[in-house]
Every structure is written in structure tokens, then in C-alpha cells.
Amino acid sequence: MKKRIKLKGRIKTYIQFCIYLGILLAAVDVAMFMIDFRAGLLLAGFTVFYFGITLTLYFYNRRILINELVSFATEYGQIQRKLLREMDLPYALLDDCGKVIWTNVAFENVVHQPKGYKKSITSLFPTITRDRLPDDADVEEAQYDLEYEGSEFVAKFRRISLRDMAENSDIIDAEGYNGYLIAVYLYDDTALHIALQEVDDQSLAVGMIYLDNYEEALESVEEVRRSLLIALIDRKVNKYISGFDGICKKLEKDKYLVILRKKSIAQLQESRFELLEDVKTVNIGNEMAVTISIGVGLDGLTYAQNYEFARNAIDLALGRGGDQAVIKTPESITYYGGKSQQVEKNTRVKARVKAHALREIITGRDQVLVMGHRMPDVDSFGAAVGIYRIAQSLERKAHIVLNDVTPAIQPMVDRFRNNPDYEEDMIISNQAAIETANSNTVLVVVDVNKPSITECPELLRFCKSVVVLDHHRQGSETIENATLSYVEPYASSACEMVSEILQYTYDNIKIHAEEADCMYSGIMIDTNNFMTKTGVRTFEAAAFLRRNGADVTRVRKLFREDALEYKARADAVSQAEIYKQCFAISICTADELPSPTVIGAQAANELLNIKGIKASFVLTDYQGKIYISARSIDEVNVQIIMERMGGGGHMSTAACQIEEVGIIEAIGILKRTIDDMLESGEI
């Protein structure tokens, strides 16, 4: 049935106004009859005549008037349509299914489609699917960023109700109108984005360059040639930075301040900081190659914040062993380089200074809590025992926080429990440690610098004074606001560091045989029987412990293996896959053994004995997680591989944990990571 067009609003009132006047005239006529009958009769005749003329004109002219109004509205709509059609802003109308039903010239020029294009909007912009359009009365607008043929647009979608359009009309009634349309506006932001990118590229970044082994490199060359070595290094650094339109200012003998544009930093990242390798080529007879560390601060709100980021980045680079570049932004930290082994320092000055600082901290507190990492190993427990001895020598109450005793350290722990020479509360649980901690407690964290994997992360909040002693390279997650932080990546083990500190903390300190055995075991296990990461100071620490009662034979007996463990390790070695001809990947299936992750780490060490193997990876499925032990000798930095997968460690000894994946999927992730890093030149 065809709907009748109804008048409304002021137009309807204006047309019916004559009828209202006729009604008023009739009322006056009634009053006139009461006053004068003949006058009323005359007025009544006029009223009838008035109503006749008025009603005749109303019904006769109404159709003509409506037709004229419709014609005007149509012409007005044509004018509006022409204006929309020629509007410079790209504009289109969609139906409720997302199909294009009308476009203007500007929209057609953008999408390069002719007039009358009637396909879905998704055919033009694949990212705009039906479910992303505003199809609900509660969600009337949507906005998305689009890229089309090299141009960038902001697309705004607006839901237009047909009923609302009719209700806003002064002529047409809204009765019977349903459904909706979707209006599309395209705003070209290409020029704006280019301008913003140009401004961002020109923003300044702050960098710092430190020479890692300045003193050692100078000592390895003749005295008369040292000034030449320094000059060559200065020239190399300054020429490299000036090549990127930057400013390089030497602050100290081994430190430089660098100012660069952000665009130049991007170029440095593309070349993976070639300066790291270029500096090593400076050779005038020096036996030791010079290495540098670079820290860059980006995207800070102020220049001062960028400088602070650069300082944090250079500290992180040095804490990770040097010979690398670190870029720090408010959102992320990126690492480059780190392919060289950290050079062992010949002097113990730093150890002596840290030892004296540790003594002052401990003597200023009533009690000491010592904890290592979760699932502690021999190095972690041995270092904790060494700190316990320092606290006891300084007459302070001390506890070792140990929640779960792993089979790896069970033989050592048994030597302290039920031992009359030690207090019963020497080793306490996490809950007991939290209850014991107070404002006058110092917490010493050993063999770990990541708060999330410590034995009891909650303790870091309860103790105001925290000391960190570790030999692992630092990552983006560190223990913040530590009162004393002694992190030395060149050290073979935490036990080596604690053994040195013991010699300076207290004069003529007495170490029990059990304690010496523990620390000696930690050095032996972490160095794989003194085969990896050993230096002069490693053997000096071992000699100090040997003089204080450590027995090599007794330690060896403590760590003799079970036959099942030996078979599990041998099985992991025999099943290894040689990937890319130089990476050994294997699975350790030691589910029934108490410490399968330890067996996996031992198998990874064994795989390095195969000719041609540069790095080994052993995966262990344990307690719902996949543990990956990574080992190398000197050619591959397994730390950066494990960091890419969420772990960390040393250049030659690293590990990571992967959750919610199977063992086969984890191997796939590992292989893809190796492939990506080989392709990018990171390893």
C-alpha cells in the first residue's frame, strides 16, 4: 500500500489557520444571535459562505501545495547532492551490510573507481570488515587508520538512522521509516604523518661511549706508543660519529658524550653499530683488542630524560660484560653486539671496596637474610653460605632463605642440618623469612639479579636495605634501589666473588670445612670442573678455599652421580640433532629423576665436546614448563639467543623457560630464533 505524505510542523499550522478563524467566527455568530437576531442571521450567512470558500480552497489547493513543497524539497535535495558530490572531502554512503551505494568525486579519485561502484567496502579496504562497522545504536561512530596505495588516511564511520532523518524534517512524517545508512569520511593524513616523522627524525638522542678495557689495553703496548693508541681510538670514534652528522665530546680518558639525531640512530641500528667491530681493528702492537660499550637514550620527554636513559643504558651494557650497544626508550631496551668474552680484571681493588661497603651495611643492621634464585644450585647455596659466615664473623644473626631443597644441593644442605656447630634456624622457609624481616634487616641476594626468579621476591619489598652479588649479565629486569650492587660478569661464579669478599671483610676470618667445601663446589660446578670461564682469580679463590679446609676428594664424592642420571644424560647426548651443522639440539627425558633440569644442563656441556659444535641446547619438560639449557665455548653468544626467548645468563652459559607450549613446539621456536638471528647477523 502506498503511504500518504503527511504535513507537519509550521506548514500544517499555516494551512489550517483559516479553519481555526472560521471556528472563531462561528463562536462570534452565536454571541451575535443573543444580542440581535437579525444581525446574527446575517453573520451566520457570511459564516456559511466563509466556510464554503475556505474548505473548498483547503481541499482543492492542498494537493497542489504539497506537490509544490515536494518539488522544492527535491530541488533543494539536488542542490545538496551536487554540493556533496563535488565536495573535496572523500565521502561515501554504505548500506547496513557495508555495501557502497553512493560516492562523491573525491572518494572515487582516492580509490580509483568509477561512479556507480556498488561493491562491499571491504573490497577497497581489506581491514574494514563487516564486524568493524558501527551497526549498533550504542556504537554510532568508529574510526580507523588506513593505508591505501602509499597514502595514509583516517577513516571515520558514522551510523545514520533513517527514522531520525525523517523526524528532523519539517515536512515528512517519520512513521514507517526504519533501518540505517553508514557515512564514510576519509581524511588524508599523509602530509601530516610525513611532517611528524620528519620532526621525530630530527629529535635529538643522547649517547655515551665507554672504553671497556682502557687500562688493560694500554698495559699491553709499549709505553712510547700508548699515546698513539689513544689518538687512533679517538680518531676512529670521532670520525664514525661525525659521519652520521653527530657531535662527539671526550669527557674523560675513556668516556665520550655523543649527540645524534634520531634518524642517525636508526642508521646505526641498521648497521648493527659497526663501531663495535671497527674499534677492535685498531692495532699498533697491543696484545689486547680494545672494546667499547655504547648506551643511547631515545624518545624521552626532555633532553635530561634522554641523558638519564643513556646513563642507564651504558650501565646496563657494562653490567652485561661490555662490547655491546644498548638503546633505552620509555617502552623498551634493545641490545646489539656482545660477542666478545669479558676480560678478567687483574686488580682486586673493586672487590676490596665492595667488601668494606658490605661490612658497613651488615654492621649497621641487626640481622641478615641471604637468598639465591629459585630452584637453587650449588653456586647459589655456596655463595649464601659464604655470606652467612661473614655475618656470623661480624656477630650478626643470619638466615639462609631456602624454601625447596633440590636434589642438586641436598648433600650440601644435609651437612648443615642437625650439625651442632650451626643453629637450627640457619636455613628457613620463605614464610619464616617474611615474618622475620623488619626495617632493621639487610637482605643479601646472591647468584641472581632478576627479582622475578629470586627464592622469595616478596622479601625485596619487606627489606629496605638490599645487597646484590652476582656474576650473571644484567638484563632489562633488575633489582632496583639496591643499597649495594656488585655484578661482575667476568667472574666464573658467585662463590668466586664471595670468596674474594671473605678475604677483605674480616681479618683472619675462620671458615669451617663444610663452608669451604660448599663454595669450592660452587666454583667447580659453574666452571665445569675449571674448564670454562676460568681465570687467574678463579684459581686464586679456589686456592684460598683449599687452604681453609676444602677437600677435593670429599667434594667429588658428594657429587657422584646416580646410574639413572648418568644414563639419562648419555641418552640426551646420543639423541642430539645437529642443526645448521654447528648447533646441537636435544631433549632430556628424565621425568622420573629428581632434578631433570640439572641433567639437561650437564648434557648441554657434554655436547660441546663434539667437533664442529658451536653451541648446544637441551630441552627438558619439567613441572609444566620447557627448560632450555644453552652452552657454547667461544664462537656463539648463547645469552642473546636465550634473551630473545625470554631468558638470560652468560655468553657461554644461559637458559630460559617457556610456558604453555609442548616440547616439539619449543624446538620449533628455538630453531626459528636461531634462523632469524643468523639472518640478521646477531650471531
Q: Taking residues 579-590, what's their average pLDDT? A: 89
What is d(CA 647, CA 657) in angstroms, rounded to the nearest whole number? Answer: 7
585 & 554 share domain: no
The confidence band for 665, taking pLDDT boundaries of 50, 70 and 90, is very high
What is d(CA 582, CA 388) in angstroms, rounded to the nearest whole number? Answer: 43
The confidence score (pLDDT) of residue 583 equals 93
553 & 483 share domain: yes
188 & 233 share domain: no
The confidence band for 166, taking pLDDT boundaries of 50, 70 and 90, is low
CATH code at position 612 = 3.10.310.30
CATH code at position 127 = 3.30.450.20
Give the CA radius of gyration of the chain.
41
More confident residue, 520 or 126: 520
| 460 close to 434: Cβ distance less than 8 angstroms | no
C-alpha cell at 548: 681453609
| Listed residue (449, 465, 452) closest to 369, CA to CA | 465
The confidence band for 439, taking pLDDT boundaries of 50, 70 and 90, is confident
Question: What is the sign of the dihedral through the CA atoms of 60, 62, 63 and 67?
Answer: positive
| 22 close to 54: Cβ distance less than 8 angstroms | yes
C-alpha cell at 490: 667476568
The pLDDT of residue 419 is above 70: yes
Domain final residue pick, 195, 221, 245: 195
The 10s digit of each residue's pLDDT in 272-307 is 888 988 888 888 877 778 888 999 999 888 889 999
Question: Worst-scoring range by mean pLDDT, 126-130, 133-137, 239-243, 274-278?
Answer: 133-137
Q: Taking residues 425-433, what's their average pLDDT? A: 89
C-alpha cell at 144: 580507523
What is d(CA 321, CA 318) in angstroms, rounded to the nearest whole number? Answer: 5
Q: How far is CA 78 from the centre of its chain?
A: 55
The 10s digit of each residue's pLDDT in 506-561 is 777 788 888 899 999 989 888 878 877 788 888 988 898 988 888 888 888 877 77
Q: Taking residues 155-181, what's their average pLDDT? A: 63
The confidence band for 668, taking pLDDT boundaries of 50, 70 and 90, is very high
What is d(CA 428, CA 417) in angstroms, rounded to the nearest whole number? Answer: 11
Give residue 679's identity as a one-letter amino acid code: E
Asked if residue 570 belongs to a domain, the reply is yes
Q: Say if residue 466 is exposed, middle or buried (CB neighbours under 10 Å; 0-12, 13-18, 19+).
A: buried
644 & 597 share domain: yes
The pLDDT of residue 120 is above 70: yes
Q: What share of the chain is helix, strand, coil (3-state, %, to 5)?
A: 45, 20, 35
Question: What is the sign of the dihedral through the CA atoms of 141, 145, 150 and 151?
Answer: positive
Q: Taking residues 617-641, what's their average pLDDT? A: 88
Q: Taking residues 468-476, what's their average pLDDT? A: 80
CATH code at position 327 = 3.30.70.270
Q: Taking residues 382-407, what's their average pLDDT? A: 89
The confidence score (pLDDT) of residue 74 equals 56
Domain that holds residue 96: 91-195
Contact partners, residue 10, CB within 8 Å, separation at least 6: 170
588 & 652 share domain: yes
Q: What CA dihedral angle connects 64, 69, 70 and 72, to 10 degrees?
A: 130
Asked if residue 610 belongs to a domain, the reply is yes
609 & 666 share domain: yes
596 & 582 share domain: yes
437 & 510 share domain: yes
The confidence score (pLDDT) of residue 674 equals 92
The confidence band for 75, taking pLDDT boundaries of 50, 70 and 90, is low
Phi, psi for 206 (deg, rounded to 5)? -110, 135
What is d(CA 633, CA 529) in angstroms, rounded to the nearest whole number? Answer: 14
DSSP notation for 477-488: ---TT-SEEEE-
Q: Taking residues 20-40, what's their average pLDDT? A: 78
Question: Worst-scoring range by mean pLDDT, 124-138, 580-594, 599-613?
Answer: 124-138
The confidence band for 39, taking pLDDT boundaries of 50, 70 and 90, is confident
| 227 close to 233: Cβ distance less than 8 angstroms | no
| Listed residue (413, 401, 379, 407) closest to 622, CA to CA | 407
What is d(CA 596, CA 589) in angstroms, rounded to the nearest whole number? Answer: 8
The 10s digit of each residue's pLDDT in 170-195 is 444 445 555 678 888 888 888 887 88
CATH code at position 443 = 3.90.1640.10
Q: Can you state the angle between helices 494-505 and 536-547, rounded to 10 degrees?
A: 60
Domain final residue pick, 134, 160, 195: 195
569 & 622 share domain: yes
| 172 close to 164: Cβ distance less than 8 angstroms | no
222 & 180 share domain: no
Q: Indicate the helix (H) or strand (E) that contains 463.
A: none
| 120 close to 100: Cβ distance less than 8 angstroms | yes
Asked if residue 201 belongs to a domain, the reply is no
Sheet of strand 204-211, all strands in order from the earlier edge strand to the far edge: 247-252, 255-261, 204-211, 292-297, 324-328, 333-337
Asked if residue 4 belongs to a domain, the reply is no
Asked if residue 344 belongs to a domain, the reply is no
Q: Considering the chain, what is the average pLDDT of its residues?
A: 82
Contact partners, residue 255, CB within 8 Å, separation at least 6: 208, 209, 210, 211
More confident residue, 468 or 197: 468
| 128 close to 97: Cβ distance less than 8 angstroms | no
More confident residue, 440 or 617: 617
What is d(CA 385, CA 515) in angstroms, rounded to the nearest whole number? Answer: 6
Asked if residue 200 belongs to a domain, the reply is no
| Listed residue (199, 200, 503, 140) closest to 355, CA to CA | 503
Asked if residue 176 belongs to a domain, the reply is yes
292 & 187 share domain: no
Domain final residue pick, 166, 195, 224: 195
Phi, psi for 610 (deg, rounded to 5)? -80, 135
- The set of long-range contacts for 456-460, using a CB threshold of 8 Å and a minimum separation of 24, is 456/371, 456/401, 456/403, 456/430, 458/430, 458/434, 459/369, 459/371, 459/401, 459/430, 459/433, 459/434
| 603 close to 630: Cβ distance less than 8 angstroms | no
Asked if residue 36 belongs to a domain, the reply is yes
What is d(CA 423, CA 416) in angstroms, rounded to the nearest whole number? Answer: 9
541 & 658 share domain: no
The 10s digit of each residue's pLDDT in 227-246 is 888 899 999 999 999 999 89
Phi, psi for 139 (deg, rounded to 5)? -120, 90
Report the number of distinct structural domains present in the chain: 5
The pLDDT of residue 585 is above 80: yes
The confidence score (pLDDT) of residue 386 equals 93
| 393 close to 445: Cβ distance less than 8 angstroms | no
